[in-house]
Structures are given as structure tokens and as C-alpha cells.
Amino acid sequence: MENTNPFHYEGELSWCPGCGDFQILKSVEKALTSLNKKPSEVVLVSGIGQAAKLPHYMKANGFNGLHGRALPPAFGIKSFNRDLTVLVTTGDGDCYGEGGNHLIHAIRRNIDITVIVHNNQVYGLTKGQASPTSEVGMVTKTQPFGVVSLPFNPIAFAIAMDTPFVARSYSKDIDFTADLIKQGIETKGFALIDILQPCVSFNKINTYQWYSQRAYKLDNNYDPTNRVKAFEKSLEWGDKIPIGVIYRSQRQTYDETLDRLGIKPQVNSQPDLSKVKSLLSEF
Amino acid sequence: MENTNPFHYEGELSWCPGCGDFQILKSVEKALTSLNKKPSEVVLVSGIGQAAKLPHYMKANGFNGLHGRALPPAFGIKSFNRDLTVLVTTGDGDCYGEGGNHLIHAIRRNIDITVIVHNNQVYGLTKGQASPTSEVGMVTKTQPFGVVSLPFNPIAFAIAMDTPFVARSYSKDIDFTADLIKQGIETKGFALIDILQPCVSFNKINTYQWYSQRAYKLDNNYDPTNRVKAFEKSLEWGDKIPIGVIYRSQRQTYDETLDRLGIKPQVNSQPDLSKVKSLLSEF
Amino acid sequence: MSFDISIKIAGQAGQGIQSIAEILLKVLKLNGLHVFAYQDYMSRVRGGHNFMQVRISDSPVYSIKEDCNILVALDTNSVDVHRNEVPKGGAIIYDPHSTMVDSPDNRFIPIPMNNLAKEVGSPILSNTISAGSILALLDINKMDAEEFVKKQFAKKGEEVIEKNLKALERGYLYFLENFRSWKFTDIKAQKNNKLIMINGSEAVGFGAIAGGCQFIAAYPMSPSTGVFTYITGKAKEFNIISEQAEDEIAAINMALGASFSGARAMTTTSGGGLSLMAEGLSLAGVMEAPVVVVNAQRPGPATGLATRTGQEDLEYVLHIGHGEFPRFVFAPGHPEEAFYTTIHAFNLSDKYQVPAFILIDQYFADTYATAKEFDLNKVKAISSQPSAFSNDYKRYQITKSGVSPRAYPMQGDFTFIADSHEHTENGHITEDGEVRNKMVEKRFRKLKGMQKEFGKPTYYYGDKLVPSSFKKGKAKTVFLAWGSNYGVVRETVDYLKKQKRSVAMLHFNRIYPFPRKEAIAFLKGAKEIITVENNYQGQFGNILKAETGIEVDGKILKYDGRPFTVEYILKRI
Amino acid sequence: MSFDISIKIAGQAGQGIQSIAEILLKVLKLNGLHVFAYQDYMSRVRGGHNFMQVRISDSPVYSIKEDCNILVALDTNSVDVHRNEVPKGGAIIYDPHSTMVDSPDNRFIPIPMNNLAKEVGSPILSNTISAGSILALLDINKMDAEEFVKKQFAKKGEEVIEKNLKALERGYLYFLENFRSWKFTDIKAQKNNKLIMINGSEAVGFGAIAGGCQFIAAYPMSPSTGVFTYITGKAKEFNIISEQAEDEIAAINMALGASFSGARAMTTTSGGGLSLMAEGLSLAGVMEAPVVVVNAQRPGPATGLATRTGQEDLEYVLHIGHGEFPRFVFAPGHPEEAFYTTIHAFNLSDKYQVPAFILIDQYFADTYATAKEFDLNKVKAISSQPSAFSNDYKRYQITKSGVSPRAYPMQGDFTFIADSHEHTENGHITEDGEVRNKMVEKRFRKLKGMQKEFGKPTYYYGDKLVPSSFKKGKAKTVFLAWGSNYGVVRETVDYLKKQKRSVAMLHFNRIYPFPRKEAIAFLKGAKEIITVENNYQGQFGNILKAETGIEVDGKILKYDGRPFTVEYILKRI
Ligand SMILES: Cc1ncc(C[n+]2csc(CCOP(=O)(O)OP(=O)(O)O)c2C)c(N)n1
Ligand SMILES: Cc1ncc(C[n+]2csc(CCOP(=O)(O)OP(=O)(O)O)c2C)c(N)n1
Ligand code: SF4
Ligand code: SF4
Ligand SMILES: [Mg+2]
Ligand SMILES: [Mg+2]
């Protein structure tokens, strides 16, 4: 693949050996390559965290912003230049913790971006505190008596928000993940892909083994367009964890609205002076 | 009622005549009175907005904080003094807009508070911009081409978050609302009550007439403990809008966890000096 | 100045103070008269006590007066609150059927506005009735008013126009029929004066559009919302993406994303919202992302006085955002200056790739003033970015000026990264100490160029503005002003000049980079330096001291949420 | 000081640098020796290049040295990076099987740590092997180390203890068997020195507990997390509610809620998180809510250098939050001062009902130093709040001192409101100009009392600390320091004193209210004032000028994310 992968980055990667993030990186590259995207037309947007380092590890444009704040710049980037393919690579803390409010409203806006959440159920970069998806009872230095808050269920949440594309994957299955990312990119509107990603350094509960025993692919009979059924499916988490496209729906995208209004500004362009002058008469 | 209502406030109220907020105020007073609460053991917590002015209009303790930030202080207030009855009175902008992230995580924490959302589907205090629950197409000064984002569905969201008590009411029915608030207070853990509240000054779509035509009470056969069915019910919004308790579930509260750990600090108390001294030996 | 009339229109929120003022102001402007109008309103939608202060003259007016010649009282409370502000010979217009007046004297002019409105067709016409009566009192020709009414209600259809014309006439005639003997002064129309009437919000919004704004994301907050809605109203016409964000954190980060894509991007907010943007502003600092931030100040801390005025965020804005990075901070003094400053802010933010702040306040945002038509050829939206890049393009290339060439995605086959960490020239995360030093130094090297740009202070010495080439101050007493206090301090200087006092104003529009050289030159000869500010701490005085070592001799401060008046200042010197 | 040894332990993240250092430091401390240990680490979990710098002496040590007598290199890269820092006669310990060394000279001491570890039972024991060898090299009695190992691994069971004891012995003996001739210096145990060893984070956390902290809400962020985890680890024992918030906005607002209920509440954060707290801090200002905020600084802007050190938030913290309100800002210089300061911060925040900031930085937070046992009787957690209130209780009663009696819910039958708007004495929203003025003035009146409280600067003039009663500086050259630079500037003064130079340090712990009188008194006689800061702008110098008019003559600045050394400072004077 290396030769035909224009997204390959030559520098050093600072993730821990064995980290699921490497697999997600491969999946992203694969998805983009299979769609024949050029690095110069892709923007990877991220916040802060291990997941959020991904834009530095691919040859593509990148906006590596603030912890929890990947979605707002992604909106700004994409709405202004709708020819770009915009992916957000974020963590469970970044996206569901610090950034939760933006997720709610980004889905409502339905701009055409694909959000890839490296869900390792822990804060990796800051060395092992609980994240919004950590299991109840998990002991960490900041939860010495165990996590007490109910884990956030991103799939149920996204279905309640009527997100156009909602999927879950497991990082170890690179091809499967790549295919979901590809579908997410192809979806018009907001796509959320939550990826189970082992953190070998800090999450001693949700390990490769733990996920491998539980993750199963939805079969072909599963209908992701039935919202209530999808919601029911989203509640499945325990001995069995479904992966695949869990929910799909369609509605007008933000991009389409701008197109309809004819709003498409160009870089380095001047405002029309005669129009500007005509404003004077209103005062 | 006036005589037996210890929560009655004598001063001036600055809401517009006819505003649904007056009705909600009455409902809150009624619920608290019926529970024999004393003003001094109640704290009303709010952010900023018309709804959020409520704590000033009742005789009770109040914490009137920042726009969007009612839930975090409510957590601080209640966790430190669990003998208090803590109500949050907030708006759709306050709670679902600016404050969305806190709502997600407050529900996960499940502290024993009751959150009353005056949902007028508009920003009242700032004079009529769209709120997260405004209907698609609504024209305002900041949405001159009409709202394009999908309205936030607080009920579906709250069910996806497994909120212990999820209800919707309509402000005009004061007794019904008071009863729901009462149930919310009695619920152990987090209760969310979304109240349809006409804003007579700025919302010309969702008027008394509009709500009155649509709101109907769930009948006795409805089972709020079935999560999937409740989710299905939560999607009902249009010609018919169900009001009542839409979802109920049970799980450990934050309060119970603190009790279990034996953590209950007292005001004006000193740390145990001998214990503090013993820490020295660890260095 | 052959006449100088003050009018107060007072009543409850929702009673239509603004509708009355709108007709009045527009008609006066059409007559070539100068007006200045400030709104004092409470943070509520109905009820309470609001008022509008209007000053009218044949020369430019720059501030409000405490007293008024005419009071239009829409409720009893307004009579009680304001009757003492009307001197003998003044007029108090009220509706005798709805407003109780204890012992009315000969200032009181009862006009049964409600009844007249009902006669003409509907009680909501009572505002037009009032306007008609006021125009008659001012002896303004009815014709212009009729023209305005036709234009104003054009969209609402013939019937509405007809009724309003009738109401206008009814109010006008009722006054003439009953109070013909009343006359204040000879108001002479100046028909060949080509004036515009604009408030501070519109001036900034208009400047943003002229400055090439292409993206605005904001969250509503008084008193900043006016700028946001002005621009949003023109979004389609000017190809601007406008989005109401879920919160201010999103607003600034959206703007930074758009800026990355190549947009001229901005956001508007006020105190609490500004605080929420602090982290994003720091991001703009390290990413070197151009962005224009309008902060419309109101009194704090926290929610403070939500609909009132203050200048309390000055030192804060100079330091907002963790870590260190250069920025522009502007505080225009009047609408015309605000218009040009906003254009400059876009150009300079673009040129130096730093955030540019524009500090206004509620008083400034909501105050209407007449001005000569702005000269649109004076400033253009000019981008300083190259348009072609090689494939080894480096986003953060180290340069002598500190400014790196800025590219946007898809301007070629290259890719680049904008990064919030300390980074290499390529935008990749680095922890290398030497690279870090180089990047910090590169960012701060920009200050040298920035210092030379637009924004010298204005030295006002009597009737004329002294051009920036004027190198030394002449006055014994110099008043320092920044932002919205331009007008009131200017009028104070005018007043004192007439008393033969040696006074001047030094007004600062650009506060950062601080125009040190100019400040020192202008203040060198002064015996007494007095800072005039709407805050408790005299913040500008502190900055002056830190930047130049010059200490102020006096502070005239006001922090009750209301604007200064000349009278207030005079009492304190 | 009869000996002064520096050790560097270098390798990749995850290789166990800290495990080696831990054994070493604790054993040295048990021997009554003074140590000072700084961690330099990258923002990653595995790999990269980290190192720990340890200084050992029989007298107190306050800073690190650039060179080292002993290098423990855990990988090849560490040899390359650091070999030149080891002078002749120094020692470089490495594992010849895993680490490549080009042309090893006689400083190199190969210890096959991995193989020895495997022999003893498991490769993870190689850290204990290293520790054993280093202790042998330093000629420290093995017994104390054994005792420590027993204690350290007590929870992990007999087997682990046994293995580690073996590993320790093996490393110790291997060194003696092969390199007996090596010896640096006479390290003499000082067994009756009762020392503690504590880092900055622990000192603040310990101070918080001693200061009666009852509630902490925070969001993880380097380098502030250490304070949060220290306190959280003791939460059950000390009846403290500790909650990891969803973001920093929640953290500060949770703390304010708890404060309302009566808690001694705090939060910890760093730059970006501090920015997010800005609005909440402004709320604390207007609500007059006590809260302690620890800001552990790192280089910015934005993400900057996430795991490195800086002092860039000083001016920011003085002004953070829109609107105007008083605050305390502390920046302790060493762990003992941090401990007492934190207790004072709780008491003073409570007494004046204002936020109290404690500014530390990564260098301070992560650096271990020995100190005499803290005297716990010196400061107590004292609440200044009354405990009984009448039923017409007014939360914001206007008083002469500016401080109103603060009640909590359920202390009686009364009710009260804490409000973010400008408010009446009852806490209700007001827009009244006069009430507003009174409230602003009331809040600022507190400054008078605050100015007199704890926090005079420390004038260090040679070997002794000058008590605060010492009214005038004596030295010709005065170095200004604040926060973590206490130690390195103190050692610089010591060095220069030996050269017979007339030098002193003036160290500021409290920066706001600025101790103006003391600063002026101490600086009056100085010929030369030099500020030493970890930032680009020399921020403290700016503040000094704004507050006192005194201008610094020189600035020694460092902004590469690494702490100062005496060598670095000496090169620049
Ligand atoms: C405002 C702010 N708060 C806190 C941090 C510190 N921080 C950096 S990454 C992170 C958590 C990352 O967790 P997650 O998003 O799950 O990513 P992971 O490292 O697990 O991939 C935190 C708390 C920060 N950089 N900025
Ligand atoms: C940080 C911040 N941003 C914006 C505002 C301005 N603001 C005050 S209330 C409000 C919206 C209120 O809407 P909602 O919560 O729905 O309450 P309503 O007035 O409709 O009851 C806004 C935007 C503010 N006070 N603080
Ligand atoms: S800490 Fe965890 S998430 Fe981060 S790189 Fe290491 S294994 Fe991956
Ligand atoms: S603006 Fe709307 S929500 Fe606010 S008080 Fe008036 S009617 Fe009620
Ligand atoms: Mg994670
Ligand atoms: Mg609302």
C-alpha cells in the first residue's frame, strides 16, 4: 500500500507501541486513498489528545486546535470552502467530554464532515484519568474510589440527535474501519464514527482481548434506517458490542443551505464597491 | 393559595404580561408548598435569561449565576449540602444551548436535583434570536433566511442519556406542571422537566394557541419505564405533543455514592490536625 | 451653533419610544440637521423605565445633555423621574388620559395621543401621533415626515401608510390648533447638508462589510448583538457566511477555522462572551490566525448591568489569553472612526496574522449620530497574502518581519498544518528549545511593523483636529480619552476653550501596540493630565504609566453604567 | 556545603526514570541529605527523551545544574545528548547490551542492568538494579535502601519485596565488584536531620488540606494535575468532595456552587483551562465568593509546550475576568512557602470573599526538594464567617471594610441570593446607578485590608533571609524574582556574594495586592535592578513599573520551556 498511499507521513509517530491509534491512522489513509482524494484537498481537524495528534501523522492539511474544540473550526473550514474533504479526528475526552456541547450543535447544523472518535474509554495523553466513556468502577488517580458516572453512550446519543450517519467500529479491523470511514465521507452531512481503540498504556479494562471478545459485526438483515430499532440496538453494550453502520437518515445539509442562498465567498476577493456604496443610502 | 404559600415574593416581576413564566413560577411554588418545604431549605439555581430570573421572584435561597452555567453550581451546592432541595430554573438557550455540555455530564453524574426548563423555543431576554429548539424556518434578526438547524429534542436526548426522570409539560396547566415538578423533586437523582412556555413577545409561531392545540396528556396505559417505547414516544412532535412523565429509570445517585464513602463535610469545620500531621510522614 | 435642543422620550419598554424617535431622527436628518441620540434601557422586554435622549443642532453634536428642552413622557413614572430636568420654558408632552400629572405647570402640553390614534384608526398609531406633535413643536415642515413615512412603511402596504400619514397629520395639526403659541427656537433646515445617521453598531458592521468580512460567527449578547445582526442582515447580498454559534467558544473557534480556509473572519461579543473566547484568542495567537473580535463593553463583573455602558475590559483585552502573543487593540471614538478602523482592523489582522480587537461599549453601539457621508474610496479591503506557493511551502517560515506567507488549502498541491502547540516552520509539534525561542521571537518581531501602522492618537486642541504630524502638545491641561468618550471630552474642551482655558484632548483609538512616541510627544508640555474613563480603576491611566512612565494627575471616572456628560466632567475639574 | 553532586537519569518515557529516581531520592532523604530533583519530560507516554536532574548535598539545595557528575543513560540517545555534560572524573552508567556507545572513555561504567534483572527474576527489575548501582557509586549504606524497598512494595506482597531486595543487592554488589575504585566524594549521612521531601504539587495539595479544603473540582491538565490527584487521593480521609468536571467551566462553577453552600472550595488548572475559567472568575468577583484557584503555568500560547515550564500568565491573572474586582495573586517560591501560602489563600479568600490565585509552574510542580518538617502549628484553617444571622440577613450588606457577613443556606430561617448581576444588598438585580456605585466601591474597599495581609516580599541578602521588618535594601544590584525562581536566584546571589559583589534578591510571593510600599523601600538604594523571569516580555518588570514607577535596568528572560540555572543567569549579567 505504501507506494500508492499519497497520505503517508515520513516523520516519527509518538504513540505508544501497540496503540490502536496506529490502526485508525491506517484506516483513514485507506479510506481516503480508496476515494482517490488528494492530500491537498483534505483537511484533518483535531483538538488535543493522543487521537488528536493524528493530523500531524498524515500528509494532508491539518488544523490542530484546542482540546474539545475540533468541531467549531471544522465548521468554519468546511462552510467557507465546501470543496474540501473535512475529517475530524478526536478522542472520547475531546469529543464527548470537553467538546460535548459542540457535538450537539454540530449535528443539528449538519455540515458535511466526518467525525472519527478514537474511543479508548480513558484520557490517554494526560495519563489515565477517566473519560466520559469509562466504565463504572474503573479506578484511576482522579477516581481513586472508582468511576461513578454513567458512561456516555455516543451511539444512542447520536441517534437521538438524528445524526445522518452513525457507526461504530473496532480499530483492530482496519479494512472494516476504513470502509465505514469511506461511507461516512460519502454521506452527505454529518457522520459520526465511534471507534473502539485499545489504549495499551492506561486502559487495563478495555483491552484488545476485551474488545475482541465482544465486538461483532451487524449482519445484512439489520436495517439502520429504522430509528427506534437503531436506538434499541444502540443500548447493546456488554457481552456483545455491535459494530457497523447503526443508524442512517437524511436531511438537508448546511452546505446545501448555503448553496441554495448562493453564499460562496472566495479567498482574497474584494467586496463589490458599488454595492458597499449603496449601503450608505440606508443611513 | 397566597396565604399558605411561604415562597411568595413581594417585589416586582419584570416578565412581560402574559408570559408563560408566570405560570411556571406558580407551579414551582405549588409543588414546593405541597411538599411542605421551607424556603430556607430550598435553593433555586439559574443561569441567565428570562427563565433564569425566577430565583429572584420567589422567597427561597438563590444562586443566579452565568448564562448556560446553572448545572455546575447546582452540583456544588447539592453535593456539599445534601439536605437542601435544589431546583434549577433555566431556559432552552441556557440549558440546551450555552449549557449543553453540562447537561450531558450532570445527567451522567446523577446528582439529586430537579431541572425545570422554560422552553419557549426562542431567546427571550436577548430579544428574539433562535434557540436550540426553534422550529426550522423561523425568521429572526440573526436567522434572516430562517432557522436551518434541526431543533434539539430534549426528551429523546434525555432518554438516550438514561435520565432517571424525564417529563414534558405545558406551562398553562399549572396543576399538571406542579405535579410533575413534585414528582421530579421526589425522584432520587436527576429529573428533567421540559415545559412548553409561550413567549408572547418574540415567539409568534409557538403561541398559546399553537401549544394548546397540540399538547395532550399521556394516558394511564403509557409505561414510562420502557426505554425503547419512551424513545419512540419522544419522537412525537407535530400535530400532537405528548405531555407527562415520558421516561423513568433508576440508578445510583451521586448523593448515595458520597454517603457510601462517608464524605459529608461540614461548614466552618477545621481539618483534624492530628490527621493532617500524619501526612507529614509520607513525605 | 445657532440652536441646540435636547429631547427626552421616556416610558416603558414596549411603549414605542424607538418608533417615535425613529421618525423624529430620520426627518431631522433629512432636513440636514445634526442629531445625537442615546438610548437608556433596562434589561427587560416590557415595562420598567427606558428613555431616549436626542440632541439637535445645526452643527455636529457629540454628546448628550443631562437636562432637556422637551420631555415626551409616555407614562406617569416618566413625568416623575424627568420633570425636574426640564427648565422653565421647556415643554413636557404627555397624554392626559393615561398619565397622571400632579400640579402641572405651564411647561405641560397635554396631547390625547391615544384618543387621537383611535380616531385615526388604531391605538398603535399613537407613536406616530406623538411624532407629529413633536415635529409641529419643533416647527419642522410636515412634508419630509410624510415622505419618510411612505418609505418606512412601504413594505407594509398602502393601508398602513395611509393610516400613518393620517396619524402624523393629526398629531401635527392637533398641536398647531391647540398650542400654536409654543415655539422654541428657529430651527432652520440645512437641505444641502448631505448627512447620514448611523449608530456605533452599524458603523462597525458597515466597516466590516467594506473591509471584506466573509465569515461571522457569534452568540447573541447585549450590547454586541447589533453589529452581528447588521452584518447578518446583509449576508446574502455580500456573500457572507453568518452563523449563530451554540456558545462563544464555538464562535471564536469557527472564525479561526474559516480564517484557516482563507476567510476574512470575525466575531462579536461582550464581557462574559469575551471571557469564554479567551482560550480561542490564545489559539489565534499561536496559530497566527487573522481574526477580528468586536467586544462591546458593558459594566461587569459577570452579568453586571447587562444593557448599560462601561469601559472596564481594557486592561483585560491587552492580556487576554494565556501565554504571550501580539495583538491589535482599537477603541474608535465616533462612528466614522469606527467605520475606518474596522476596515483597517481586517487589513492589519490579515497583514500581521494576529487577532485585532475593536472595543466599543453600549453607549457607543446604541448611539445614533449624524455624520458626513463616509468616503468609501479612502480605505479598501486589501489582502496582503501571496497567491502562489511552492510545494515545500512552510506555514510558519521564519522571516525578518516575523510574518510568514499565509496560504489556504487548495491553492496548490502543497499541504500545511496550523497548530496550537509550539511548532516547527512546518507546523508540526516541537519541543525543541531553540525552535521555541525562534518562534516566540518571530511572533513578537511583528510588533515593530505593527507599531508603525494606522492608529495615531488624536490631539484635539480647540475647534480643529490636529493632524498626526503635529508633534507636540500645546495645552496646559490635557484630558485623556479612549473609545466612546471622544465626543463628550471634545465638547468639554470646546466649552473650556470658550472660557479661555488652555485645554486639549488626547484621544486614543489604537491602544495596542501603544503609540508611545506620540503619547510622550503630545503630553510633554502638559501641566495637568486627566484621564476620563468609564471604569473604577482608571485603567487607561495605568497603561499610560506602564508604557511611558507618565503618571496622570487626575482621574474623572464614572462606573454607574451611564455615559458621561459635559456637565458631569465640568463638575469634577 | 561539603559536597554538591548532580545526577542525570535519562531515557525514554516508560523506561522507568522515575522509579530509579524515587528509590534514590527517598534513600538519600532518609540519610538526612538534601536533594533537589527536576523532571524534564515530553508530552508523550512512551518513547521520546526525558530526564531527571538530581542534586545532592549536605546543605539545602535550591536549583539544578546544567552539568552533572553522574549520568545514568537508559538508551543510546541519552548518551549522545548528555555525554558532554559530564566533566572528566564524572560517571556515565549505561547498559552495554542495549545502549551503543561510540568511543567510550573512562567516564563510562557499563552495568548490564537488563541481564542482571533477568538473573534476579524479571526485566522490570532493571530499575532497581540501576538504583542499587548508583547507591554503591555514591557510597550510601545499603540498609536504608532495603528498608525503603520494604516499605515501598509493602502492598505488592512478599514476592515483589523479595525480588526487589535481591535486585537492589545485585546492582549494589555488581558495582562494588567491578568498579570499587570509583568514588566521588565523601557523602556523609546526616541521620539526625529530620527532613521531608516534597514537590510543589504536593506542597500546594498538602497546604490545601491543612487549609481546610472541602471541595475540589478540576479537569486534568498538565502540569496542574498533580495538585488535583494529591488532594483527591486524600478525599475520603479528609472528608473532601472531589470531582473531575467535564470541562474547566464546570470546574470553577462547581467550586462556586460549593462555596455558596459553605465549602472551602478550590480548583486547579493550567493556561487553557484558566482561560476557560475566566467568566467564572468574574462571577466569583461579583458574587464575592471565596474560591482558591491554582494555575500551574506552562508555555503558551494555546497548547504551547504542554509539559514544560513558563511564567507567562502573570499579567493575565492580574486582569482575568471581564469587569473589575479585587483578587489575591500569590506565587510561592519554594514548597514550604507554597504550603503556608495555600493555607493563607484559603483563609484570606474566605475573609475577604474574593478569589485567591496561586501561580505555580511545571518546574515548581514537578520538582522535589527536601525541607525541614513543616510546622503545622504555624497556620490554621480559620473561617472568618459569623455563625448566626438574623432573619433580615443581607448577603451584600454595605460595610466599612467592604466585607459583608457571609451566610450559608440553612444556618437559620432566612433566605438569601447570590447574584451575577449588579445587585442590591439583598442580592436582587438592580439597575440603580447609585446602588451600583456603592457596590463597586464596597468591593474595592476590601483592597485596603487585603494590602495589609500575608505576603510581604522576601529580601535575600547573602546567607540569611531578611525579615519583613527590614525596611531598606542594602545591595547595589537587586535581582527580582517571583514564584519558582526563588531558588535559582537565591543561589545566584550566594555565588555572587562569594565574589564579593553587593547583590540581593527581592522575591515576590504576593503579587496582588502589590506590596508597593515594601517594593519601594527595598529597591530604593539599588543601583541596578534586574528581573529574572520565564517569559518573553518581562511581565513582572512591567507590573513593577505600573505599580511603583520603578523601571528595571535589566531583564534576564528565558522562554524555551526549561527552568533557569545559576550558570544561565551568570552568563547574562
Ligand atoms: C482546555 C484543556 N483542558 C485540558 C487539557 C489537557 N488534556 C489534553 S488531552 C486531554 C484528554 C485527552 O483524552 P482523549 O480526548 O480521550 O484523548 P486520548 O489521549 O485518550 O486519545 C486532556 C484532559 C487541555 N489540553 N486543554
Ligand atoms: C456568556 C453569555 N453569552 C450571552 C449572554 C446573553 N444572553 C443572556 S440570556 C440569553 C438567551 C436566553 O435564552 P433562554 O435561555 O432561552 O431564556 P429565555 O430568555 O428565552 O427565557 C443570552 C444569549 C450572556 N448573558 N452570557
Ligand atoms: S497512552 Fe494509550 S492512547 Fe495514548 S498513545 Fe499510548 S496507548 Fe495510545
Ligand atoms: S420576552 Fe418572552 S419569555 Fe421573556 S418575559 Fe417576555 S414573553 Fe416571557
Ligand atoms: Mg481517550
Ligand atoms: Mg428561551
Quick: pLDDT tens for A194-235. Answer: 999 999 999 999 999 999 999 999 999 999 999 999 999 999
Chain A residues with CB under 8 Å of B108 CB are 132, 149-152
Chain C residue with minimum CA distance to A274: C376
**Ligand 3 pocket at CB < 6 A:** A 15-16, 19, 21, 50, 120, 124, 199-202; D 45
pLDDT in tens, D393-427: 999 999 999 999 999 999 999 999 999 999 999 99
* pLDDT over 60 (residue D333): yes
C180 touches chain B (CB under 8 A): no
Higher-confidence residue of D1 and B148: namely B148
Helix then strand then coil, % of chain C, to nearest 5: 40, 20, 40
- In B4-128 the beta strands, taken as DSSP E runs, fall at 42-46, 61-64, 85-91, 114-119
Residue A278 exposed, middle or buried by CB count within 10 Å (0-12, 13-18, 19+): exposed
Backbone angles phi, psi at D16, to 5 degrees: 100, 25
Other CB atoms within 10 Å distance of the CB of residue C419: 26
- CA C179 from centre of chain: 38
Please give the single-letter amino acid code of residue A139.
V
Q: Are strands D458-461 and D464-466 parallel, antiparallel or unpaired?
A: antiparallel
Report which secondary-structure segment, H or E, holds A196: strand A191-196
pLDDT in tens, C244-296: 999 999 999 999 999 999 999 999 999 999 999 999 999 999 999 999 999 99
Chains in contact with chain C (at least 3 beta-carbon pairs closer than 8 A): A, B, D
**Cα–Cα distance measured from residue B18 to residue C141, given in angstroms and rounded to the nearest whole number:** 41
Residue B127 exposed, middle or buried by CB count within 10 Å (0-12, 13-18, 19+): middle
Percent of chain A surpassing pLDDT 70: 99
Give C186's pLDDT tier (boundaries 50, 70, 90): confident
**Cα–Cα distance measured from residue D418 to residue C303, given in angstroms and rounded to the nearest whole number:** 12
Residue C271 exposed, middle or buried by CB count within 10 Å (0-12, 13-18, 19+): buried
Q: Chain-wide mean pLDDT for chain D?
A: 94
Backbone angles phi, psi at D187, to 5 degrees: -85, 120
**Cα–Cα distance measured from residue A105 to residue C447, given in angstroms and rounded to the nearest whole number:** 38
Region for residue C538 given its phi and psi (left: phi exceeds 0; alpha: psi -120 to 50; beta: otherwise):
left
pLDDT in tens, C61-85: 999 999 999 999 999 999 999 999 9
* Dihedral sign from CA coordinates of C10, C13, C15, C21: positive
**DSSP 8-state symbol, C485:** G
**Cα–Cα distance measured from residue D152 to residue A185, given in angstroms and rounded to the nearest whole number:** 52
pLDDT in tens, C493-520: 999 999 999 999 999 999 999 999 999 9
* Dihedral sign from CA coordinates of B16, B19, B22, B24: negative
pLDDT in tens, D305-330: 999 999 999 999 999 999 999 999 99
Give C188's pLDDT tier (boundaries 50, 70, 90): confident
D18 touches chain A (CB under 8 A): no
Sequence-distant (6+) residues with CB within 8 A of D233 are A141, A144
Q: Do B235 and A251 touch (CB under 8 A)?
A: no
Give A146's pLDDT tier (boundaries 50, 70, 90): very high
**Cα–Cα distance measured from residue D264 to residue D498, given in angstroms and rounded to the nearest whole number:** 46
Q: Chain-wide mean pLDDT for chain C?
A: 94
Torsion on CA atoms C209, C214, C215, C220, rounded to nearest 10? 20
Domain B20-281 falls in which CATH fold?
Answer: Rossmann fold (3.40.50)
Chain A residues with CB under 8 Å of B161 CB are 150, 152-153, 156-157
Sequence-distant (6+) residues with CB within 8 A of D565 are D63, D64, D65, D66, D488
**Which residues are in the CB-under-5-Å shell of ion ligand 5?**
A 91-93, 120, 131
Rounded to 5°, the CA angle C255-C258-C263 comes to: 110
Whether pTM exceeds 0.95: yes
Same topology, domains D4-179 and D458-572? Answer is no
Higher-confidence residue of C3 and C465: namely C3
- Centre of ligand 3 from the C-alpha of residue D423, in Å: 50
Report which secondary-structure segment, H or E, holds C8: strand C4-13
- Just give the CATH number of D458-572: 3.40.50.920
**Ligand 2 pocket at CB < 6 A:** B 48-51, 67, 91-94, 118, 120, 122-126, 131; C 219-221, 248, 272-273, 276, 303
Nearest by CB to A81, from C250, C256, C409: name it.
Answer: C409
* Dihedral sign from CA coordinates of C203, C209, C214, C220: positive
- How many Cα neighbours within 13 Å face the side chain of D405? 11
- Just give the CATH number of C197-372: 3.40.50.970
Q: Are B45 and B88 in contact (CB under 8 A)?
A: yes
DSSP A49-70: SSGGGGGGGBSSEEEE--TT-S
Q: Do B98 and C246 touch (CB under 8 A)?
A: yes
Which atom of ligand 4 is the closest one to the Cα of B18? 7
Q: Do D233 and A141 touch (CB under 8 A)?
A: yes
Residue D538 exposed, middle or buried by CB count within 10 Å (0-12, 13-18, 19+): buried
Percent of chain C surpassing pLDDT 90: 86
Protein residue with least CA distance to atom 6, ligand 1: D221
Give A1's pLDDT tier (boundaries 50, 70, 90): very low
Rounded to 5°, the CA angle D86-D90-D93 comes to: 85
Please give the interface size between B and C, counted as residue pairs whose CB atoms are below 8 Å apart: 64
Residue indicated by cell numbers 502638559: C526
Chains in contact with chain B (at least 3 beta-carbon pairs closer than 8 A): A, C, D
Alpha helices in chain B (DSSP H): 21-34, 71-80, 92, 100-109, 154-160, 174-186, 208-214, 227-234, 254-261, 273-279
Other CB atoms within 10 Å distance of the CB of residue D527: 10
- Centre of ligand 6 from the C-alpha of residue A236, in Å: 35
pLDDT value of residue D428: 98
C-alpha cell at C212: 471584506
Chain C residues with CB under 8 Å of B66 CB are 272, 302-303
Q: Give the residue numbers in B contacting A (CB under 8 Å), as ranges.
A: 96-101, 104-105, 107-110, 132, 145, 148-153, 156-157, 159-162, 227-228, 231-232, 234-235, 251-252, 254, 257, 261
pLDDT value of residue C470: 53
CATH: 3.40.50.80, 3.40.50.2000, 3.40.920.10, 1.10.8.350. Which one for D4-179?
3.40.920.10
Angle between helices C335-352 and C200-210 (to 10 degrees): 40
- Centre of ligand 4 from the C-alpha of residue B54, in Å: 12
Q: Are D27 and D144 in contact (CB under 8 A)?
A: yes
Residue indicated by cell numbers 430537579: B114
Domain ranges of chain D: 4-179, 197-372, 388-454, 458-572
Report which secondary-structure segment, H or E, holds D94: strand D91-94
Whether B19 is in the pocket of ligand 4, judged by its Cβ within 6 Å, is: yes
Q: How far is CA B263 from CA B82, B254, C504, D202, in A?
A: 11, 11, 65, 22
Q: Are D279 and D325 in contact (CB under 8 A)?
A: no
* pLDDT over 50 (residue B2): no
Report which secondary-structure segment, H or E, holds C152: helix C142-152
Chains in contact with chain A (at least 3 beta-carbon pairs closer than 8 A): B, C, D
- How many Cα neighbours within 13 Å face the side chain of D15? 24
Please give the single-letter amino acid code of residue D55.
R
Best mutation target among D49, D66, D275, D353 (most C Cβ atoms within 10 Å) is D275
**Cα–Cα distance measured from residue B42 to residue B58, given in angstroms and rounded to the nearest whole number:** 11
Q: Nearest ligand, CA of residue A91?
A: 1
The mean pLDDT of B17-40, rounded to a whole number, is 98
Q: Do A152 and B257 touch (CB under 8 A)?
A: no
pLDDT value of residue D548: 95
Alpha helices in D211-319 (DSSP H): 225-233, 248-261, 271-287, 314-319
Backbone angles phi, psi at A243, to 5 degrees: -125, 155
Give D468's pLDDT tier (boundaries 50, 70, 90): low
- CA C321 from centre of chain: 24
Domain ranges of chain B: 20-281
Percent of chain D surpassing pLDDT 70: 98
Q: Nearest ligand, CA of residue A13?
A: 3
**Which residues are in the CB-under-5-Å shell of ion ligand 6?**
B 91-93, 120, 131
pLDDT in tens, A69-108: 999 999 999 999 999 999 999 999 999 999 999 999 999 9
Report which secondary-structure segment, H or E, holds D70: strand D70-73
Min distance A48 CA to chain D CA atoms (Å)? 8
Region for residue D405 given its phi and psi (left: phi exceeds 0; alpha: psi -120 to 50; beta: otherwise):
beta
